[in-house]
Structure 1
Amino acid sequence: MLDGCPKGPALLMLLRGMNPQVLAADEITAPEDAAALEMAANCGVSLLCTAHAGSLEELKARPLYRRLLDEGLFRRLAIIERAGRERRYQVVELC
């Protein structure tokens, strides 16, 4: 775990220095984050990431996430929806 460092450079430092099997990152929002995730995936590292969107369609409409989805970086999406005071959970298989 790294703190106080932008995600993109932090992911690259972990990739180069720790030889991880899995990298986890929350709130993927910047092109640098996406580039680091692409590099990690191309090195065979599994990814666990979060992104916020109102719906799956909204997520797919955002260019940053669309690119990651189109490149097949993710095999599954866990979708959490609010329904009043409750939450609904759904796992969508992409591959």
Structure 2
Amino acid sequence: MRTLDHPATDELELDTVLAALGDPVRRRIVLQLADGHDEQACIAFELPVSKSTSTHHFRVLRTAGVISQCYRGTAIHSTLRRDDLDERFPGLLDAVLDAARR
């Protein structure tokens, strides 16, 4: 089974997480994950960018530790790492999501 690398909770860096959340397309992905199902396939996102650019945005979020991804057959499914982010940076994700919703 193919797997993808993810940083451990104690390896999450504030600067990296903030940089990942600083892009409006990536905030849109995070918002959809927060407001939707626990796990969503990448094809479930309607993003205003090309497929290769959306792949880049998902990779940035994953390597920053904002989302986790796993293969389900040939599809990649994403999940928001809310518990890990809340443990490492309490209140940060809620503040970003609240601002994005306004």
With a CA cutoff of 8 Å and minimum separation of 6, indicate the structure with the bigger relative contact order.
2
Please report the TM-score for the alignment, with normalisation by the length of structure 2.
Answer: 0.26
User: By percentage of residues, which structure has more helix?
Assistant: 2
Task: Report the structure number with the largest CA radius of gyration.
Answer: 1
User: By percentage of residues, which structure has more strand?
Assistant: 1
Please report the TM-score for the alignment, with normalisation by the length of structure 1.
Answer: 0.27
